[in-house]
Amino acid sequence: MVFKFFPEILPEINFGEILSLINYIVFAILAIIYFHHNLFLILSIFFKKKKYQEASTNHFYAFIISARNEEKVIGNLIDSIKAQDYPADLYKIYVIADNCTDNTASIAKEKGANVIERFNTELIGKSYALDEVLKYAINDEERVEAFIVFDADNLVDKSFTKEMNKAFDEGYKIATSFRNSKNYGSTWVASGAGMTFFRECRVMHRMRSRFKMTTYVSGTGFMVSKDIIEENGGWVNHLLIEDVEFSIDEYLKGYKVAYVADAIMYDEHPESFKDSWRQRMRWCKGNHQCFKKFHFKLFKNGIKHPSYSNIDLYAHTFPASILSVGWLGFVLPLSYGIYALVANVSFQKYFEAAVRPLIDSLIFCVAYTILVAIIVSVLCWKDIKAKQIKKIWHIFTFPLYAISYLLISFISIFVKVQWKPIKHIEDIKIEDIK
């Protein structure tokens, strides 16, 4: 009786129009949330970077490096720090060798760093290592006014500290830097990560700073005042993306994260898709954790203190993959498929209603990400350290990286993810980049 009833009633309901309406709603939500991303992309073509005044005082900094089995790269980073165009008596270098089984600690000591060896298999991850080394540095050196945090695979431009010092001297308690790539031209995977961070720095960070909005710390190459660390009682952010968690936490307390475009550091990106998948899976899972932790707090803060930064940070953690991949890739074809079977809908109608939107969306994503890659590549052409042919080629490989990011984000919702170190292998010195 039930199955008899369905074919009689369902054709009277224009299910295709209902699904089409939901499609429009989904796209409208995404368009509203990310409207400013597209606006920033256009405006970044015309807006110059924010310049900071020359500092009246050279402040004392502690360089903090968390390293786990990084014997191939740790020495190059320390060398680039010691080559800074900044008084050598106004900084100290601290390396925490976190559960290392190689020569990371001994190499760091030979290079003149203060080394703390940590062996803890229960509290695993960079955030716990940071907490330990920051507390150690505060007790070890009373002159420290702020910390500059790096990963072991980074390299530092010689004017990095001088430029960060300008922002700190101007009163900013937290600041992030321009994140360049050491190995952009190595593989399409590394270039995809590089392009992502070029866009983040050259477009998003820059425009936030021009509109006096807060931005966020992105992994590494950031400065934070000792006052904030002491106020928090150490490094207390332990989600899978502790950097974004820290940034939102401090924003809700009233601090802004500044962007210093002339403070340049170089990062090594995973070159294999397997390593990239693992890294991005952690980032995406951490993003979902941040959304769960902060969505209500940001909404509440936005009511009390209206600011576009609330919307921006909300958009940054918003699980867009649920609407895009979840709806177009799973819910839409499955729901319409069930309807098509029950109501004897033709395959052509099913294709137009459930499959065509997915194909059109993929075509749009490819075209859009190529456009983004073209604009960002032109804006950052001189900054990209790769042969010209590779700069051009990786414009067209970027959509594969970007679309796989959406898929990873969606999958990460349903799986358990733990922090795991990414192996760094590129023996590149700062002189090689220049």
Same domain, 24 and 65: no
Same domain, 211 and 254: yes
Please report whether residue 246 resides in a domain: yes
Question: Residues of the chain with pLDDT > 90: what percent?
Answer: 76
Tell me what the mean pLDDT of segment 361-366 comes to. 93
Same domain, 268 and 324: no
The pLDDT confidence band at residue 27, using thresholds 50, 70 and 90, is confident
CA pair distance 383, 49, nearest whole angstrom: 14
Please report whether residue 82 resides in a domain: yes
pLDDT of residue 220: 92
Tell me what the mean pLDDT of segment 206-215 comes to. 96
pLDDT of residue 6: 42
Q: Is the pLDDT of residue 401 over 90?
A: yes
pLDDT of residue 346: 83
Please report whether residue 306 resides in a domain: no
Edge-first strand listing for the sheet containing 222-225: 114-118, 91-98, 61-67, 146-151, 222-225, 174-181, 257-267, 155-156
Looking at the structure of the chain, the number of domains it has is 2
* Average pLDDT score, the chain: 92
Same domain, 246 and 360: no
Q: Is the pLDDT of residue 16 over 80?
A: no
Please report whether residue 314 resides in a domain: no
Q: Is the pLDDT of residue 213 over 50?
A: yes
Same domain, 23 and 65: no
Q: Is the pLDDT of residue 368 over 60?
A: yes
Q: Is the pLDDT of residue 351 over 70?
A: yes
Contact of 188 with 397, CB cutoff 8 Å: yes
Same domain, 238 and 107: yes
CA pair distance 257, 205, nearest whole angstrom: 10
Please report whether residue 22 resides in a domain: yes
Please report whether residue 252 resides in a domain: yes
> Structural domain of residue 25, as residue ranges?
2-30+319-412
Same domain, 25 and 67: no
Same domain, 10 and 141: no
pLDDT of residue 421: 77
Q: Is the pLDDT of residue 3 over 60?
A: no
Same domain, 10 and 153: no
Which residue carries 């800074």 as its tokens?
84
Q: Kindly report whether the global pTM for this prediction surpasses the value 0.85.
A: yes
| Residue 398: both structure tokens together | 């970027």
DSSP 77: H
> Which of 72, 69, 67, 65 has the alpha carbon at shortest distance from 427?
72
The pLDDT confidence band at residue 9, using thresholds 50, 70 and 90, is very low
- 114-127, pLDDT tens digit by residue? 999 999 988 988 99
Please report whether residue 308 resides in a domain: no
Same domain, 249 and 166: yes
219: domain CATH number is 3.90.550.10
Same domain, 115 and 251: yes
Tell me what the mean pLDDT of segment 65-89 comes to. 95
Q: Is the pLDDT of residue 12 over 60?
A: no
